Structure 1
Amino acid sequence: MTHAIRPGLLILQGNRLELLRDAVLHWLAQQPLAPLKEEIVLVQSNGAAEWLKMALAAQRGICAATRVELPARFLWRTYRQVLGRDAVPPQSALDKSVLTWRLMRLLPLQLHQPGFAPLTHYLQGHDAQRRLQLARKLADLYDQYQIYRTDWLDAWAAGRDVLLDASGAPTPLAEDQRWQALLWRTVLDELSDAERASIRPRVQRAMLQALADAGAAAVRLPRRVVLFGASHLPGALLDALVALSGQVQILMALPNPCRYHWADIIEGRELLRDVPMRRGTRNDIDLAAVGLEAMHAHAHPLLAAWGRQGRDFMRQLDAFDARATAQDEPELPREGLFDEAPGVTLLQQTQAAVRDLLPLQEHPRNPIAATDRSVVFHIAHSPQREVEVLHDQLLSLLAQQDCANPLRPRDIVVMVPDIAPFAPAIRAVLGQYSPGDARNIPYDIADLPARATEPLLLALAWLLRLPDQRMHATELGDLLDVPAIARRFGLQPEDRPRLTHWIAGAGVRWGLDAAQRAHLGLAACGEQNSWSFGLRRMLLGYTGAGESGFADIVPYEEIGGLDAALIGPLADLLDVLQAWWRTACGTATPQQWAQHARDLLDALVQPQELAERQTRARIDDALSAWLDDCAAAGFDEPVPLAVLRDGWLGAVDDAPGAGRFMAGGVTFCTLMPLRSIPFEVVCLLGMNDGDYPRQSPRNDFDLMRQPGQYRPGDRARREDDRYLMLEALLSARRMLYISWA
């Protein structure tokens, strides 16, 4: 009954996501919402969303009346519910996408101001594209400050050029970094009062105050919010959930690799000593009193080496859990959901040792069976060979008969540091066998950017680089291989070989014409063997001018018969490219570029299939999103084509829906945070020294990385990757497979 849904905050922790999932599903079934009320479930990855929705569908028969969304989207929607839609706009005035173009406009105006010498030196003599790269980095940095360093931004807005450490002690900004505070004040000064109030830290404070004053009516809020499977959350979201728990039932089900208190086994523990300890200690040993040099005798080495990111998150949870103890909590057991199995295989024993915080000398010395293949390592000489070895190993695994628990392709995940370099090898190895072949393994590749897989987007990316292209004969041939483009010019697939033969026979090699070659600095090459040269030869050959030709043009005499009509579409295509090249070599405002781009698409593309229409719609939506960001930032400066390309294609890549996760076959994807979904077989490829943990280039102006400025919960790429490795180890159920080249 819905009257039993009482507000409060509950944090469940466990080392197996299946146990947490079952507990959450049981709780939802025991306390259903009223009909037509929507269940809110927050996850931090699309993979976790798919996995949880399938579990809900398996339990209920259908996954309906359930909103599964990302926490950031939920948080902004909650701001608008609590404070009102008039007080909070649909988008913050300083969201990263808008802030990028605001900085793009403001940076040139500040370069001659006192304090901006470092930026002046960096941008001096460079074009708009370099300025855009800097604006993107700065927008991302200020976005991180809005999440993790709101106290810095408040101090800078008040005119105090200082950094505050974890204890709140101020440190003056270095002289060569004062421009960050100056630039932030410049951004704030041009905002209206309403826009300034819509900055995330200020909206957050306003919502917390409204909830504390009981000014938000409960009817505006959902009855229950479930946060599932996250391994990291910003403090702003945790603050909001604690505040909401006074009126909303908040159920958090979060993975924890260890049943005991383990925060003190890693350096940086002194920053967390004031946080109450919510989990018990192993053997009643206070690890805070043990020196780090002696910690190997009291803790698991993998947890100490790879667990820093998770440690910080667990301690954050302890602090927020302590704040909620005085509230009216749901009547759920508060102990963690940890399994008790000692483990039979090597993989299971390792997972149990991490769970129980066993130091190396206390690990059970059980002999490993000769048939134990639960942890497998392979070394190969190239990524291609890694995939070939993996294919053979998966065929062997899938061929093994286990009537009690048969292995299916969907039970296997293959993760790599970067999926893009591996995608061609995956398609070459696994895609060579047809579905009827015994060696065929169904698979899906997730996380690839759309423009790396869809022909129309590949063609668009090429067109947006036209001023720098040599326009080889094969490149225009690839353009005509795109069905939507060939359809626009009335060409059929069977026409392509004849056109290719004519293009080669007419001597077309590269270059649109003499002017285009001169633009590339190759004026000495003239027009010989260009597209203009070859087209004139073909047209003159069609007229039957004979071997003598006309005006020093030698005709290409193979043009004739009914097939001669193919020259018309080719000439039309070259006319479109000629017009676009002239436009692309100039500059234009964002509005003008958008119109030029739409004219180009209308002239080149005729979508017909559903997938083509969806791609065209995605392209148009991305262009509109870029225009909206520029308009919101007041950016209307004439810019070269490269700026349009970065803004437009970047918006295409950011659009949701690229790639498929858990679609039925073996899932190939990038190693990303928050993917600790259990799979029977977890494979990690490309684990080369230097490639993983992945390198994160350090920005000199990233003040969060300055000595003495670290705070628990700060994100770091290498620490994320180490924790990802730990999550991969703990999420494998039958085999952990690791290979490198």
Structure 2
Amino acid sequence: MLILHQGNHLGRLAELLAMVVSSDRLDPMVPQIVVVPHRSLAGWLELQLASHLGICANIRFLQPATMLWELVGSLDIEQDDPGRFSEAALSWRLLEMLPELTREQPVLARYLKGAGEVGQYRFAHELATVFGRYLVYRPELLLAWERGAEGGWQAELWRRLVRQTGPLHWPRLQRRLLSRLERGAPLPAMYEHLLVFGLEGLAPGTIEVLEAVARQGVVQFFVQDPCEELWTDLVSERERLQRAIGEPGIAEGLVTGNPLLASLGRMGRERLGLLLQRESLDRRPCFTGPRGATLLASVQRELMALRPPGEAGVGADDSIQLHVCHSPVREVEVLHDRLLGLFDGRPGLQPDQVLVLLPDPE
């Protein structure tokens, strides 16, 4: 059974998760697996579950990759060391191959001319990152390269990597895992009821595996969605114009809807669309209307109803603020001052209600 709990309020989704954890566990001695995109969300969910249930115990928070590798191991599927295709391992292997490859590929030789050892390692690390993303999000491309498909120097480099490292990378293991599940291989007890909180980090292949698991057990998704309407077919104004250039006359049939959703929600839109395509999906909406007359509440209502911006009767206030800073240090200083001001002006505000988002600081 594949179940989707879909709502716009993260706290409400955490409350539903607590209700499921407390009522649907068949064996209290079997750990409950909750799949989360990152450790920060796992820490927040632990606090929420402890608040709702009094304690958070015998629950394993796993990231998608860890969950998949554990499932492969539990079904006794032949595998190599998963670290063989990690970014760190690939970086050093690629660095070792670069001298020979640059002699054969003039375009690479020109690009790396005068780069030095440090520059070559940075290039190898960037390549390892790209190949790591291909393994997760474009597995069919890599498998096609291994069969001899054209792909320039990247394809040749990947074939050399596979000959050196071995063919048991994730796309091949995923095929074996899906085949084993489709043949009815019994699931381990802890995988008979999986809870997935959030769609971030879930590649199409991961969703496919979870759907196969759901044919034998229960997989419940808890997905925060700002819009109650179906918005997976939205396009941004830029995408609309680009398609109109290539196919004149098609622009009239493309829906832009709310520009924030269309332009900034592309990744979430695509992942949600992959999930909604599943025929066996049991969708259980749990949306709550934003309250208040603030600018933030107005934007949230527009997103939820898929309306264009411009709600009447709402003026400017401090619920949404933009601070232009001249350096990263100044950004931190302004954030520090604003947080102190918020805690001082709102006595009920707690630290666990504050989320600071930033790009990868590394």
The CA distance in 1 between the partners of 2:203 and 2:159, in whole Å, is: 24
In 2, distance between residues paired with 1:243 and 1:204? 11
| Partner in structure 1 of residue 137 of structure 2 | 148
Q: Distance in 2 between matches of 1:389 and 1:97?
A: 36
Corresponding position of 2:191: 222
Distance 1:415 1:253, change over 3 A: closer
Give me the whole-angstrom Cα distance separating, in 1, the residues matched to 2:189 and 2:22: 24
Q: Deviations over 1:126-159 (max 9, x none)?
A: 5433332222122122212212222222222112
Contact preservation (8 Å) 2:33, 2:190:
no
**Cα offsets for 1:464-500 (capped at 9, x unmatched):** xxxxxxxxxxxxxxxxxxxxxxxxxxxxxxxxxxxxx
> For residues 397 and 137 of structure 1, do their structure 2 counterparts lie closer, same or farther at Cα, with a shift above 3 Å needed?
closer
Is structure 2 residue 46 aligned with structure 1 residue 53? yes
Alpha-carbon spacing, 1:390–1:66, altered in 2? closer, same or farther (3 Å): closer
* Partners of 2:41 and 2:50 in 1: CA distance: 14
Equivalent residues of 1:43, 1:70 under 8 A apart: yes
1:146 and 1:121, CA in 2 relative to 1: closer, same or farther beyond 3 A? Answer: same
The amino acid across from 1:149 in the alignment is: R
When residues 301 and 39 of structure 1 are mapped into structure 2, their CA distance, relative to the original with a 3 A threshold, is same
Aligned match of 1:245: 214
- Of 348, 351, 359 in structure 1, the residue corresponding to residue 300 of structure 2 is 351
CA RMSD of aligned residues (A): 2.8
Question: Offset of 1:94 from its aligned partner?
Answer: 2.5
Which of these residues, 73, 80, 97, is aligned with residue 73 of structure 2? Answer: 80
CA distance, structure 1, for counterparts of residue 102 and residue 207 of structure 2 = 39
1:302 alignment counterpart: 260
Which amino acid letter does the alignment assign opposite residue 94 of structure 1? F
Q: Does 1:374 align with 2:319?
A: yes
In the alignment of these two chains, the number of paired residues is: 351
CA distance in 2, matches of 1:123, 1:367: 55
> Considering only CA atoms, is the larger Rg found in Structure 1 or Structure 2?
1
Residues 352 and 189 (structure 1), Cα distance of their counterparts in 2 relative to 1, 3 Å cut: same
The correspondence of residues 567-606 of structure 1 with structure 2, limited to 5 A, is none
What is the CA deviation profile of residues 311-335 of structure 1, one whole-angstrom value per residue up to 9, with x for unaligned ones?
212211112x32x35xxx7xxxx33
* Residue 32 (str. 1) matches residue 25 (str. 2): yes
C-alpha separation between the residues in 1 aligned to 2:11 and 2:338? 26
2:345 equivalent to 1:413: no
**Identical columns (%):** 32
Partner of 2:178: 208
Distance 1:222 1:392, change over 3 A: closer
1:598 corresponding residue in structure 2: none
Q: Which residue does the alignment assign to 2:247?
A: none
**Cα distance per residue 1:677-703 (max 9 Å; x no partner):** xxxxxxxxxxxxxxxxxxxxxxxxxxx
Normalised by the length of structure 1, the TM-score is 0.44
Q: How far apart are the structure 1 equivalents of 2:137 and 2:230?
A: 25
Where do residues 81-480 of structure 1 align in structure 2 (5 Å cutoff)? Answer: 81-84=74-77, 87-113=78-104, 116-124=105-113, 126-161=115-150, 173=151, 178-191=152-165, 195-196=166-167, 198-214=168-184, 216-219=185-188, 222-267=191-236, 290-292=252-254, 295=255, 299-319=257-277, 321-322=278-279, 324-325=280-281, 334-360=283-309, 363=311, 365-368=312-315, 372-379=317-324, 390-400=335-345, 406-417=348-359
Residue in 2 aligned with 1:486?
none
- Alpha-carbon contact 2:198-2:223 (below 8 Å) kept: yes
Please give the alpha-carbon distance, in whole angstroms, between the structure 1 residues aligned to 2:351 and 2:14.
22
Q: 1:61 to 1:335 in 2, by over 3 A?
A: closer
Distance in 1 (alpha carbons) for counterparts of 2:70 and 2:157: 29
Q: CA deviation at 1:368?
A: 4.2
Counterpart of 1:210 in structure 2: which amino acid?
R
* Structure 2 length-normalised TM: 0.86
How big is the shift at 1:107? 2.4
Q: What letter matches 1:132 in structure 2?
A: Y
Contact kept? 2:199, 2:271, Cα under 8 Å: no
Q: Distance in 2 between matches of 1:89 and 1:313?
A: 29
1:258-291 Cα shifts (integer Å, max 9, x gaps): 000112331569xxxxxxxxxxxxxxxxxx9954
Q: Structure 1 residues 11, 289: closer, same or farther in 2, change over 3 A?
A: farther
Q: CA deviation at 1:73?
A: 1.0
Q: C-alpha separation between the residues in 2 aligned to 1:139 and 1:394?
A: 38
SS in 1 for 2:233: helix
The amino acid of 2:212's aligned partner reads A
CA separation of 1:129/1:416 partners in 2, compared to 1, >3 Å: closer, same or farther?
closer
For structure 2, list consecutive stretches of 5 or more residues without a partner in the other structure. Answer: 241-249
Deviations 1:29-72 (A, max 9, x none): 12123132101011112221111011122233222111112111
Tell me the distance in 2 between the aligned counterparts of 1:380 and 1:158: 51
Question: Does the residue aligned with 2:103 lie in a helix, a strand or coil?
Answer: coil
- In structure 2, relative to structure 1, the CA distance for the partners of 1:260 and 1:69 (3 Å cut) is same
Counterpart of 2:134, as a letter, is Y
Matched residue SS, 1:335: strand
The separation in 2 between residues aligned to 1:240 and 1:160, in whole angstroms, is 26
**Contact in 1 for aligned 2:7/2:225 (Cα 8 Å):** yes
Aligned-partner residue type, residue 131 of structure 2: Y
Residue of structure 2 equivalent to 1:638: none
Q: Is the 8 A contact 2:5 2:221 kept in 1?
A: yes
| 1:253 Cα deviation from its structure 2 partner | 0.6
**1:180 is aligned with what amino acid?**
Q
User: Is 1:65 matched up with 2:34?
Assistant: no
Which of 36, 41, 44 does residue 43 from structure 1 map onto? 36
Separation in structure 2 between the aligned mates of residue 265 and residue 146 of structure 1, nearest angstrom: 28
Counterpart of 2:246 in structure 1 is: none
Residues 1:224 and 1:155: Cα distance change in structure 2 (over 3 Å): same
Amino acid at match of 1:179: W
| Contact 2:7-2:226 at 8 Å conserved across structures | yes
